[in-house]
Amino acid sequence: MKTFYRIVLPLSLPGIQSGTILVFVLTISAYVIPILLGGFKVMITPTLVVQQILEAFLWPFGAALALIMFAAASLIIFLYIKMMAQLMKGVTG
């Protein structure tokens, strides 16, 4: 366990960071899976954006929602990268 925490974990932190960012980006933009699982009963941001643009023809509102979703995701990813940088600096010495 000591070897894992001192050698293996610090070397695998960049891969863990990359993998979690990729999963988060795919999850935040998921449209088909929530529709298949819950129909239009479950309102998530991608579903709401598509509904506003394609069904209600409210392009400005849909674009504003998409921009808010993009800004929130970008902020979360930025904070996560900063947190992981601090962690990697602390672990690697």
- Cα 52 to chain centroid distance, Å, stands at 22
Q: Are 61 and 8 in contact (CB under 8 A)?
A: no
Q: What is the pLDDT of residues 6-20, one digit of tens each?
A: 999 999 999 999 999
pTM over 0.75: yes
% of the chain exceeding 90 in pLDDT: 72
| Residue showing tokens 């933009």 | 29
Checking if the pLDDT of 43 tops 90, the result is no
Q: Which of 55, 62, 66 is nearest to 29 (CA)?
A: 66
Helices (H), the chain: 2-3, 9-28, 32-38, 45-50, 59-92
Mean pLDDT for all residues in the chain: 92
Band of pLDDT at residue 93, cut at 50, 70 and 90: low
DSSP state of 41: G
- Listed by start position, the domains of the chain span 2-92
- Taking residues 33-42, report their average pLDDT: 83
Q: Note the pLDDT of residue 53.
A: 94
